[in-house]
Amino acid sequence: MKKKKPIFKRIVIKIGTKILTGGGFKLDEREIQSVVKQVAKLRREGIEIVIVSSGAIASGMSLLGLKSRPGSLPMLQATAAVGQIQLMKVYEYYFQKDEIIIAQILLTKDNLSDRRQYLNAKNTLLSLLHRRVIPIVNENDTVATNEIKIGDNDKLSALVANLISSDCLIILTDVDGLYSIDKDGKRVKIDIVRKIDKAIKDMVYKSEEVLSRGGMKTKLEAAEIATSSGIQCIIANGRKKDVLLKITYGYEVGTRFTLSKSRLKERKKWIAFGPKAKGKIYVDQGAKDALKYRGKSLLSAGILKIEGDFSYGDMVVVLDEKGETFARGLTNYSKDELEKIKGLKTDMIREKLGYKYYDEIIHRDNLVILK
């Protein structure tokens, strides 16, 4: 491999369980060592790196002698608790050979939903990077319930890349990238994706059905989060020799997702991808057009229906008359207040409530239009 100059200064690398275990239920230290060697080399080049690593549950299953993934949540969490220690021991062992210090960061959705915790997590990660430490991030499976789970490490890696304003998100999996199926039924690797639309999703999902491979749905969702935040995303085969070095030096490897034309500002990244929505606001077509195409705030006159239980400052999603979600934002009113004023013109709010906080239900500065 002819060496080039690195094209990224800060990257997030997501490593899937299949890469770490070779597809089984035991850590494959050869694969981990291969990744660590590449990361260490990039670190010596001055590149800041955060690793989002799966593998805790698989590692725990091996240590506990389990033959299948636990079905109950308590046993699954116990398995993750055992496995997380072993996973970090292996990482530490190989990183120490290159005199690199690592740190463990365990997150839940609550940590990224609460603005204060979100900023604390960001500052911690940036402080570690400043000290040349490599943070290794995983979801906190030991305490996460269905209500606070992020869901998968693909999405977590995109949220972490978003959190620290990474230049690139690299998702390592056990295939060479995204595939489509041509008219002859043969699979064809997609080298570049310029827009993640329905056509590309249908193409990839059809390919998965033919090839009996799963997991690309969450990777597409991660790529969508990253690119809309101004972060390039690459999905590549983690078992290929020097794959991280090739990507970072600018070689065409895997499937590359180009940046979205409309990129979110820092605070709106958090609104779009951080907090869990506590309610739903349904609006008419006029309100949807005003929000989506004219950059307006949401007013009470366009509200048709409210669902959920939320208070002032909570995150809500905005849906059209067909029930399709098209926006997220922070509400200036509680659910009970909105029930009283929905459909009313702004100048009637004071009369109805006896007081008036804001003209806008959701101000445009606290609103993000979703793709």
- Please state the domain extents for the chain: 10-268, 277-369
Work out the number of other CB atoms within 10 angstroms of the CB of residue 177.
21
> So what's the pLDDT on residue 213?
38
What amino acid is encoded at 3 in this protein? K
Q: Are 189 and 252 in contact (CB under 8 A)?
A: no
User: Hunting for tokens 């230049």 — which residue is that?
Assistant: 167
Question: What tokens appear for 307 in the block?
Answer: 């669902």
Question: What tokens appear for 108 in the block?
Answer: 């839940």
Q: Are 100 and 40 in contact (CB under 8 A)?
A: yes
DSSP state of 166: -
Contacts of 203 (CB under 8 A, 6+ apart): 180, 181, 190
> So what's the pLDDT on residue 147?
44
Three-class secondary structure of residue 334 per DSSP = coil
- Rounded to whole angstroms, how far apart are CA atoms 35 and 248? 13
Helices then strands, each counted (H, E), the chain: 14, 15
> So what's the pLDDT on residue 346?
82
What pTM value is reported for the model?
0.80
The secondary structure element, H or E, covering residue 94 is helix 73-96
Is the CATH code 3.40.1160.10 the one for domain 10-268?
A: yes
**Low-confidence stretches of the chain (pLDDT beneath 70):** 1-3, 23, 141, 143-151, 204-214, 260-264, 355-356
What amino acid is encoded at 115 in this protein? R
> So what's the pLDDT on residue 118?
85
What amino acid is encoded at 317 in this protein? V
- Rounded to whole angstroms, how far apart are CA atoms 297 and 82? 49
Q: Are 284 and 38 in contact (CB under 8 A)?
A: no
- CATH code linked to domain 277-369: 2.30.130.10
Which of 114, 95, 111 minimizes the C-alpha distance to 51?
95
- Rounded to whole angstroms, how far apart are CA atoms 49 and 8? 10
Angle, helix 216-228 to helix 153-163, in steps of 10 degrees: 10
Q: Are 15 and 172 in contact (CB under 8 A)?
A: yes
> So what's the pLDDT on residue 3?
65
Do the two domains 10-268 and 277-369 of this chain adopt the same fold? no
